[in-house]
Amino acid sequence: MGIDVVGTFDFDEQPDELGRADALTEEEITAVARVEEQGFAFVTTIGDSLVFSKNGGERMFKRILRQDVAEVAKFLGDGTREHENARGIVSSASDYVELVVREARRGGLPLIAGRNRWDQGSTECGHEIAFSNGRSFHISGPGEKACLELSPASATASFLLADGYSVRSAANIGLGYTLKIFFSEDRSGRDLAQEAINLTERLCFELDAAHGIQLVVVPRERFRVTIPRSPVPENGIRVRFPKMQLPREVSALFSFAGEAADNPPFMFLSYYQVLEYHLPLAARREGLKSMRRELQSLNFDEKDDASVLRLLNCAERNRNAGEEDQMKTLVAACVRRDILRDFFDEGGHGDYFTRRGPIAGVPAINVASTSETLEIQVAKRVYALRNRIVHAKDNPKYAETPVLLPRSKEAGLLGPDIHLARLLAVEVVIDSQG
C-alpha cells in the first residue's frame, strides 16, 4: 500500500514545495486506511502532518499529526461524529463531548486559554490530568456525574472541525483550546449532545456573572441573514435627496437590523420594533375612522343615548385593543396587498410559510385562504414569532412553544420571516408619510 508516496495534486502547491516526510510505518499505514474507511482520502504528507481531503461542495483539506493518526482512527471507528448543532464532536462510545468555545469579544478567533490563569481547586474524579500549567482546568461535579475540562483541542476534534482551503493551510490550522465534557455514568438513551450544551452554557453563565469572562459555544453553522440587493441599473443607482420624514428612532432601528445580520432574532426584532412604533398611530387612525363612520351615519342623533354610546364604544374598543389586534390593524391599513401577495408568489420560499415549515409555534400562511385575509395571517405570524423570541417565561402558557434562542437551529432559518418583517416595516414607513 503505497501511502507514503505524494499523490496527484490539483491545487496551487507543487509536490516539491511541500517536502517529503519519512515513509509511513506499518502502524501508520493501517491507521490511515481506517481513516479512509470513514470517507476521507489521504492526500500527502507535509512536515509532521498527514493531510486528507473530504469532497462535498468545495474541496476541503484536513490534517492529523503523524503521532496522533492511530488515536484519530480509533475515535472515528468508534462512531465519533460532529455535533448536530454546535461546532464540536460527540463520542457515544466513551460518553465524551468536545465543544469549540470562544471569547465573545474576540469574534471568531480560537480561544487562547493562556490569557487566563485558572484556580480549579481539588479534583477527585480520578481522571488522569496531563497538564498542570494553570492555563487549563479540569473540574468535576459530584451531583452531575460529569467533568468539564478546558485544554488544547484533541487530535480528533482538530481533524473533524478544522478545514483548510489548501494543503499548506490545512497543515497550519489549529482550534486553540476546547471544552471537553466527560460523563461518568451510563448515558444510554439520553441526549448526550444536548446535555453537554446545557452544562457548558451553565459554566459560561457563571464565568460571565462572576468574572466578566464571556465564553460562547460556537454554532455548527454561522447564522447570517442577508438582504438581497436590487439589480443595479446600467446608468447606476439613482440617489435622491431624502424626502421621507421619519423619527430618528425608526431610522436607527431599521439601520441596526443590518448590523445584526449574524443574530437573526435580533434582526427580526429590530424590524418588529419599527412596526411597534407605529402601532398607536394605526390604532388611533382606525378609531377615528370608526367614530367618523358613526357620526356620518344617517341614524346618528347626538340627543340619543344609544347613538352616543356607540360613539363611545368605538373609542373604548380601539383604546383597549391588544397588541396583536393593533398589529392586524396596522398591516391591513398600511401594507399594499399587491406588494404582500408578490412577496409570497414570487419569493421562492417553498414550504417555509406552510405547516411543514421549519419554525414551530407560529401560524402558517395560506395565500389561497378564504377564511382569513392575507394581511391578518401575516400579522398573526409576525406577532407570534415576536412572542417566541421575547417571552422566556416559566409559564404553562408558553410551554408548547418555548423561547426561540439566539444560536439555535431555528434562529439560523429565520431568513424568510426577517425578509417579511422588513417588507412590512418599509410599507408602514411609506404609508406614514401620507
CA distance 362 to 95: 36
Contacts of 419 (CB under 8 A, 6+ apart): 227, 343, 347
Sign of the torsion angle spanned by Cα atoms 308, 309, 310, 314? positive
Give the pLDDT of residue 5.
Answer: 35
Question: What is the pTM assigned to this prediction?
Answer: 0.72
Q: Cβ(175)–Cβ(157) under 8 Å?
A: yes
First to last CA, the chain: 78
Contacts of 205 (CB under 8 A, 6+ apart): none
Q: Cβ(217)–Cβ(86) under 8 Å?
A: yes
Give the pLDDT of residue 247.
Answer: 86
Name residue 215's beta-bridge partners. 103
Q: Which of 164, 72, 197 is nearest to 80 (CA)?
A: 72
CA distance 211 to 116: 11
Residues 112-131 have pLDDT tens digits of 665 677 877 666 677 776 66
Give the pLDDT of residue 377.
Answer: 97
Q: Cβ(19)–Cβ(30) under 8 Å?
A: no
CA–CA–CA angle 195, 201, 204 (5° rounding):
145
| SS3 annotation, the chain | CCCCCCCCCCCCCCHHHHCCCCCCCHHHHHHHHHHHCCCCEEEEEECCEEEEEECCCCCEEEEEEHHHHHHHHHHHHCCCEECCCECEEEEHHHCEEEEEEEEHHHCCCCECHHHCCCCCCCCCCCCCCCCCCCCCEEEEECCCCEEEEEEECCHHHHHHHCCECCHHHHHHCCCEEEEEEEECCCCCCCCHHHHHHHHHHHHHHHHHHHHCCCEEECECCCCCCCCCCCCCCCCCCCCCCCCCCCCHHHHHHHHHHHHCCCCHHHHHHHHHHHHHHHHHHHHHHHHHHHHHHHHCCCCCCCCCHHHHHHHHHHHHHHHCCCHHHHHHHHHHHHCCHHHHHHHHHHCCCCCCCCCCCCCCCCCCCCCCCCCCCHHHHHHHHHHHHHHHHHCCCCCHHHCCCCCCCCCCCCHHHCHHHHHHHHHHHHHHHHHHCC
Q: Which three cell numbers stand for residue 419?
A: 425578509
Q: Which three cell numbers stand for residue 318?
A: 380601539
Give the pLDDT of residue 35.
Answer: 93
Boundaries of every domain in the chain: 15-217, 248-285+318-432
Residues 331-378 have pLDDT tens digits of 998 899 999 999 999 888 989 999 999 999 999 999 999 899 999 999
Give the pLDDT of residue 272.
Answer: 96
Give the pLDDT of residue 236.
Answer: 75
Q: Which three cell numbers stand for residue 67?
A: 503521532
Q: What are the pLDDT tens digits along the chain (434 aa)?
A: 444 333 333 333 333 333 444 688 899 999 999 999 998 989 888 888 888 887 655 578 888 889 999 999 999 998 899 988 888 999 867 688 999 988 877 665 667 665 677 877 666 677 776 665 667 888 887 766 888 998 888 999 989 988 777 776 665 666 788 999 988 766 665 678 888 999 999 999 998 898 888 888 888 877 777 777 777 677 777 777 778 888 888 889 888 888 887 889 999 999 999 999 988 877 667 666 666 666 667 676 676 767 667 767 766 666 656 889 889 989 998 899 999 999 999 888 989 999 999 999 999 999 999 899 999 999 999 999 999 998 866 556 655 677 888 878 888 899 999 999 999 999 999 988 86
CA distance 305 to 311: 10
CA distance 331 to 375: 6
Q: Which three cell numbers stand for residue 162?
A: 478544522
Q: Which three cell numbers stand for residue 52?
A: 486528507
Residue with cell 437590523: 257
Give the pLDDT of residue 45.
Answer: 85
Whole-number average pLDDT of the chain: 80
Pairing assessment for the beta strands 146-152 and 137-141 based on DSSP bridges: antiparallel
Residues 318-328 have pLDDT tens digits of 665 688 988 99
**305-319 and 264-295 are packed helices; what angle lies between their axes, rounded to 10 degrees?**
170
